[in-house]
Structure 1
Amino acid sequence: MPDNGKPVNGNDTPSFLDLLNQLKPPGAELDGKHDTRRLAKLRAAWKESWKEGGFLHQRWEEAFQARQGSWHDAATWIKTTLLLGGLSLIVLMLDTAGDVVSAALKGLSAIPATSGSDGSGLWSTVDHPVRVFLTAQAAHLSVAPAALYAFWQLTGLLGLVGGFLGNAGARIAWLFFGIGSLAMIWSAAPAGGQAAATGLAALMWALASIVALRGLTLRPIVHNHPPQYQFNPALHLHATIPAPTPAGDDLGPDNVHPLQR
């Protein structure tokens, strides 16, 4: 039986296409219908490929082992499939997010900046001075007041959501958003109610900061990591022991005389 050139456990592993092209289903000679032979051939190749050592059986084993192993131990086709799927999902999410942001900006830009409220109500006490300030400043700039107001809203929304997710850049943007909003409210609020409007805006911003600055602490974080190496002091003494002198006669060799009769 032809194989795909990759031995597994010492045995040739047939591919599904090889089985489909060359397996002869039982009873194919007796059946004269081409569709029936093709279906029987496909069924036989499917069953053969799922046997131990078959093409689909081997792929299933690789997928099952990838669940318990690491990324480096996974098969190449699994890594390729996951990477392509992840890239496709990221592109789809970016395209959808771009459409949503574009539609939101167009919708907000179509609304005049000063037509949303007349300065009455709790939220309007904070929102109306911002609209008035942006409208007055847009007269000296080459941008529409509604575009400035839409950008102000978008900055606050991204800072709030990104800060909740723990993004440092989003939290910095949230801080600048709050400081800028307080400055605009103080500048455009009625003369007799500047302090009240600014203080109310500061309280709202502080309450929203509970969400945007979730988990932020001013205490230093100390990470206690175990040492990467262990130092085991040991004292090695190397002593040279002289070789023992062979035992001899104390009288010396001169005192040895041959036996005489």
Structure 2
Amino acid sequence: MTYNDKPVNGQDSPSFFDLLNELPPVPPGPELQSKPGPRRLARVRAAWKESWEEGGFLYQRWEEVFQARHASWHEVANWIKAAALFGGLSLIVLMLDAAGDIADATLKGLSAVPATSGGDGGGLWGTVDHPVRVFLADQAAHLSVAPAALYAFWQLTGLVGLVGGFFGNAGARIAWLLFGIGSLAMIWSAAPAGGRAAATGLAALMWALASMFALRGLTLRPVVHNHPPQYQFNPALHLHATLPAPTPAGDDLGPDNVHPLQR
């Protein structure tokens, strides 16, 4: 008889199929002699009932599931670990697939926007956005990529840096800083010569306001860690003095100083 790999309560529990094979055959009645199907069904019912009794296969599995709520990971049964890992990996694969579809749809939606639409330079946002569109369109003429793709990637980088930085992601905050520096450089390069300084300064102010959310919680104060020293020195002075043994009373002169009187 084969047993499962993890006994419960110090007892090995047989599998459901072992119990099915060990059950005695059901004596055929008048209605079962010509139909073997009901006999198999009766054996399955008997094995099912036997497995749910105390010490049975399904009873032990249910006990393992019940004990897993209060046990550590190393104490959980192996089949529960395998099921949990398989479910977790399946969930991760589904999430990655959904994230890929969302990112692809976002890039396609942003790429569908013409790179020069709304680029007349009107309004505060147009003053900042128009030089970026013009700069990317000029650079795309020398590259094998569409201007709309460059503009969509620029927008996506800023969005990811802003959202990820708000949640404290270090990589997203680095991307946000590079996005701001690159945007200021593009605006300075493509803005009209007469209003170049004003357009760049306005973009810097807008980027600083948005950085209040992207760099939320970031501080430049030095972090001081007060850790107790590993080795402590406690100076102490130890004096060792040797005292003489006390002399017995009435024996000040010692036994050698007493002599008998001789004539």
**TM-score bracket for this pair, using the shorter chain length:** 0.7 to 0.9
Q: Distance in 2 between matches of 1:232 and 1:31?
A: 96
Paired position in structure 1 for 2:15: 15
Q: Distance in 2 between matches of 1:141 and 1:72?
A: 56
Paired position in structure 1 for 2:128: 126
Paired position in structure 2 for 1:208: 210
Paired position in structure 2 for 1:49: 51
8 Å CA contact retained: 1:3, 1:12? no
Paired position in structure 2 for 1:249: none
Q: State the Cα deviation string for residues 217-250 of structure 1 (Å, max 9, x = none).
A: 22233455688999999xxxxxxxxxxxxxxxxx
1:1-261 pair list within 5 angstroms:
2=1, 4=3, 8-23=8-23, 29=29, 32=32, 37-223=39-225
Q: Using the TM superposition, give the Cα deviation of residue 117 of structure 1 relative to its aligned residue in structure 2, in angstroms.
A: 3.8
Describe the shift of the 1:227–1:51 C-alpha distance in structure 2 as closer, same or farther (beyond 3 A).
farther
Q: Using the TM superposition, give the Cα deviation of residue 89 of structure 1 relative to its aligned residue in structure 2, in angstroms.
A: 2.1
In the alignment, structure 2 segments of 5+ residues that lack a partner are 236-263
Question: Residue 218 of structure 1 aligns to a residue in which SS?
Answer: coil
8 Å CA contact retained: 2:4, 2:15? no
Describe the shift of the 1:44–1:217 C-alpha distance in structure 2 as closer, same or farther (beyond 3 A).
farther
Q: CA RMSD in A?
A: 3.6
Q: Using the TM superposition, give the Cα deviation of residue 113 of structure 1 relative to its aligned residue in structure 2, in angstroms.
A: 0.8
Q: Which one-letter code corresponds to 1:56 in the other structure?
A: L
Q: Distance in 1 between matches of 2:231 and 2:85?
A: 36
Describe the shift of the 1:189–1:30 C-alpha distance in structure 2 as closer, same or farther (beyond 3 A).
farther
Q: Which one-letter code corresponds to 1:184 in the other structure?
A: M
Q: State the Cα deviation string for residues 81-105 of structure 1 (Å, max 9, x = none).
A: 2222222222222222223223332
Report % sequence identity: 78
- Normalising by structure 1, what TM-score? 0.72
Q: Using the TM superposition, give the Cα deviation of residue 162 of structure 1 relative to its aligned residue in structure 2, in angstroms.
A: 2.2
Q: Which one-letter code corresponds to 1:174 in the other structure?
A: W
Q: Distance in 1 between matches of 2:224 and 2:15?
A: 56
8 Å CA contact retained: 1:156, 1:177? yes
Equivalent pairs, count = 235
Question: Residue 181 of structure 2 aligns to a residue in which SS?
Answer: helix
Q: State the Cα deviation string for residues 4-57 of structure 1 (Å, max 9, x = none).
A: 266544544121223344446989747536665555544443333233322223
Q: Distance in 1 between matches of 2:230 and 2:41?
A: 62
8 Å CA contact retained: 2:14, 2:57? yes
